[in-house]
């Protein structure tokens, strides 16, 4: 690979949109299956007579998709992103077909884990491939669409799942992936041409096992603690070994010849702050917002389909700012202001959510969701763009995967912790509401809303921390050509792309300390 990095393929706008269409299919399917199954869980657990295991249908997918994310980033850097992306789609489709054919709950949980392995690559590599075909300066206008896809999937997933459960069978929640995924495979194969310069490398098997084992055990323990609303001995029995394995992973990665996550990247302030921001914001978005459809269904008495429709206000906010901010970033060549303003708006939105009551009107709730969506759309995809712009090309896959990994990990932990907060407060407040309203639905509704408000009260400090962290991200002017030259990624800001990379490529990297 040349040091100038001017060999990035030059595509027309039409070609880029065709490529984006294929990538969007993979991204949509991977993110959609995080939520589409939620409205089908009750029917599934009834059919298999195992209501005690229904949460593992979601957890298995979340575990494998989270744990596999960094592996895909590293493997694709070594062996080429197109073929690995296609392989991840195939794995996902196999898992989808087998999930639809499942004959008991244990089979479904196992096949959902297979689905998750494929999804980890689909969601990560779709974004990484954008970094391969579009220069950073132009990347924002296209990556803004991906922010819309993430928001769209979170809103439409429960709605589509509810439709299939009501009109057909829960099995179609999985079967619907097959024709869409096959169409994406064909499209990617026809329109995406990536030059991959093979290099001799070996897979870090020990690091992979330590990472997957550590993350899996940690998330299982956190999920168990969240379900019990307490730190039980069983939860500790998973979490402690998980943390020890992750500590061993860090030790091993500092010595491995081909580490999955090169630790020197964390000396790059853009990389470090963006990943921390992704983790913190993930706890808010995937954590607290997870319980709003339940509020609509339990407290307001609407159907699963209608609850999905009521989340459209958040999608509208994301749609407005994700696309507009992406275009503005491409025009200005700067991104920090959008991260600062976006996290600030998100904090305001979370603060408004703490005021939800049983009687809160639909328009007021829509306004709250719209504000949250505005904040999310401003900065979520820009974090990935900042990392891709700030690391050397040889770390493009690792950098992209790391942002996705930490955001998903934050969401998994946030969902469990904030779910425990909701459940615990609901239990504690219920007797008081029963004395006031009598036993029945009014008391149960007020208790649930009390728990919901507490989840947002716990999420609010995290939102404030995200806002404060946004000031620490170093701004590196977006390049109009390819990624920095090989050999970098360890320094701060522009230095993180390799000392003198700008001089070699003829591209000036203007580091702006905000």
Q: What is the 3-state secondary structure (H, E, C) of 325-376?
A: HHHHHHHHCCCHHHHHHHHHHHHHHHHHHCCCCCCCCHHHHHHHHHHHHHHH
Q: 138 vs 6, which has greater pLDDT? A: 138
pLDDT surpassing 70 at residue 188: yes
Q: Which of 269-273, 434-438, 484-488, 497-501 has the lowest mean pLDDT?
A: 497-501
Supply the pLDDT for residue 490: 41
pLDDT surpasses 80 at 383: yes
Q: Side-chain half-sphere of 11: how many Cα atoms within 13 Å?
A: 22
Position 200 confidence tier, pLDDT thresholds 50, 70, 90: low
pLDDT of residue 505 exceeding 70: no
Q: Is the pLDDT of residue 55 over 90?
A: no
Confidence of residue 196 (pLDDT cuts 50, 70, 90): low
**Residue 439: CB atoms within 10 Å:** 12
pLDDT exceeds cutoff 70 at 506? no
Average pLDDT over residues 292-316: 80
pLDDT given for residue 2 in this prediction: 33
Arithmetic mean of pLDDT, 284-298: 76
- Residues 76-122: pLDDT tens digits? 777 778 888 889 999 999 999 999 999 988 999 999 999 989 988 88
**Alpha carbon distance 146, 432 (integer Å):** 45
Considering only CA atoms, give the Rg of the chain: 22
Residue 476, strand partner residues: 511
Task: Evaluate if residue 155 carries a pLDDT over 80.
Answer: no
Residue 491 is predicted with a pLDDT of: 41
Render pLDDT for 345-365 as a digit per residue (tens, 0 to 9).
999 999 999 999 988 888 899
Q: Which residues contact 259 (CB under 8 A, 6 or more apart)?
A: 74, 204, 207, 253
3-state secondary structure of 201: coil
Give the mean pLDDT of 423-437: 88
- pLDDT of 514 > 60? The answer is no
**pLDDT > 90 in the chain, percent:** 18
508 — pLDDT class (breaks 50, 70, 90): very low
Give the CA distances from residue 508 to residues 336, 478, 494, 500, in Å, rounded to whole numbers and listed in that order. 18, 10, 9, 10
Structure tokens at 24: 């969007």
Cβ-count burial 19-41 (b if 16+ within 10 Å, e if not): bbebbbbbbbbbbbbbbbbbbbb
Q: How many Å apart are CA 247 and CA 238, to the nearest integer?
A: 15
Between CA 9 and CA 19 the distance in angstroms is 12
- Scored b (16 or more CB within 10 A) or e, 1-12 reads eeeebeebeebe
- The pair phi, psi for residue 426, each rounded to 5°, is -60, -45
| Residue bearing the bigger pLDDT, 328 or 131 | 328
Q: Are 140 and 33 in contact (CB under 8 A)?
A: no
Q: What is the DSSP letter of 169?
A: -
> H helices within 102-203, ranges in order?
105-133, 136-167, 172-175, 177-191
Q: 13-193+258-512, what's its fold?
A: Growth Hormone; Chain: A; (1.20.1250)
Q: Per-residue pLDDT averaged across 426-445, rounded?
A: 88
Mean pLDDT value of segment 388-413:
80
- Is the pLDDT reported for residue 59 higher than 80? no
- Average pLDDT of span 453-464: 91
Q: Which letter, b or e, does each residue of 107-117 get, where b requires 16 or more Cβ atoms within 10 Å of its Cβ? A: ebbebbbbbbb
Return d(Cα 312, Cα 151) in angstroms, integer: 9
The answer to whether residue 431 scores a pLDDT higher than 50 is yes
Q: Structural domain boundaries of the chain?
A: 13-193+258-512, 204-257
- Structural contact between residues 387 and 271, judged by C-beta atoms closer than 8 angstroms: yes
Q: 193-202, 257-266, 283-292: which has the minimum mean pLDDT?
A: 193-202
Angle between helices 105-133 and 362-390 (to 10 degrees): 60
Q: Name the residue among 463, 465, 312, 325 with its Cα closest to residue 381.
A: 325
Query: With 0-12 CB in 10 A as exposed, 13-18 as middle and 19+ as buried, what is 467?
Result: buried
The pLDDT confidence band at residue 145, using thresholds 50, 70 and 90, is: confident
């Amino acid at each position: 690979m040349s040091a100038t990095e001017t060999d990035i393929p030059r595509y027309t706008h039409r070609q880029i949109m065709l490529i984006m269409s294929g990538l969007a299919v993979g991204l949509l399917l991977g993110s959609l299956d995080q939520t589409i199954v939620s409205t089908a869980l009750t029917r599934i657990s009834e059919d298999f007579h195992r209501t005690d295991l229904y949460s593992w249908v979601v957890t298995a997918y979340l575990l494998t998709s989270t744990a596999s994310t960094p592996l895909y980033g590293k493997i694709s850097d070594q062996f080429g992103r197109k073929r690995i992306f296609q392989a991840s789609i195939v794995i996902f489709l196999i898992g989808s077909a087998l999930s639809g054919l499942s004959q008991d709950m244990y089979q479904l949980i196992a096949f959902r884990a297979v689905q998750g392995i494929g999804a980890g690559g689909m969601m990560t590599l779709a974004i990484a491939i954008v970094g391969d075909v579009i220069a950073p300066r132009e990347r924002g206008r296209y990556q803004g669409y991906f922010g819309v896809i993430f928001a769209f999937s979170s809103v439409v997933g429960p709605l589509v799942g509810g439709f299939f459960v009501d009109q057909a069978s829960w099995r179609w929640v999985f079967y619907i992936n097959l024709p869409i995924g096959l169409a994406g495979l064909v499209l990617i194969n026809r329109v995406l041409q990536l030059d991959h310069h093979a290099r001799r490398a070996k897979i870090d098997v020990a690091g992979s096992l330590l990472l997957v084992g550590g993350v899996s055990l940690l998330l299982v323990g956190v999920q168990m603690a969240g379900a019990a609303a307490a730190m039980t001995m069983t939860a500790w029995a998973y979490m402690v070994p998980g943390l020890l394995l992750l500590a061993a992973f860090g030790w091993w990665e500092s010595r491995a010849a081909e580490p999955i996550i090169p630790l020197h990247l964390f000396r790059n302030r853009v990389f470090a702050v963006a990943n921390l921001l992704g983790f913190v914001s993930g706890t808010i978005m995937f954590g607290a917002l997870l319980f709003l459809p339940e509020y609509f269904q339990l407290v307001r008495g609407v159907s699963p389909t209608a609850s999905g429709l009521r989340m459209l206000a958040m999608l509208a906010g994301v749609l407005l700012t994700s696309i507009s901010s992406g275009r503005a970033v491409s025009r200005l060549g700067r991104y920090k202001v959008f991260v600062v303003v976006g996290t600030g708006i998100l904090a305001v939105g979370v603060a408004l959510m703490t005021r939800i009551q049983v009687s809160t009107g639909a328009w007021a709730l829509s306004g709250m969701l719209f504000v949250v969506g505005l904040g999310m759309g401003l900065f979520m995809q820009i974090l990935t763009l900042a990392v891709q712009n700030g690391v050397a090309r040889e770390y493009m896959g690792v950098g992209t995967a790391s942002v996705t990994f930490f955001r998903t990990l934050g969401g998994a932990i946030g969902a469990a912790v904030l779910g425990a907060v909701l459940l615990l407060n609901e239990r504690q407040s219920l007797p008081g509401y029963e004395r006031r309203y009598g036993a029945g639905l009014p008391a149960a509704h007020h208790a649930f809303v009390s728990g919901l408000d507490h989840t947002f009260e716990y999420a609010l400090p995290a939102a404030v921390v995200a806002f404060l962290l946004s000031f620490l991200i170093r701004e590196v002017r977006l390049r109009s050509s390819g990624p920095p030259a090989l050999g970098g990624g360890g320094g701060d800001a522009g230095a993180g792309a390799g000392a003198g990379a700008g001089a070699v490529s003829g591209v000036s990297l203007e580091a702006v300390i905000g």
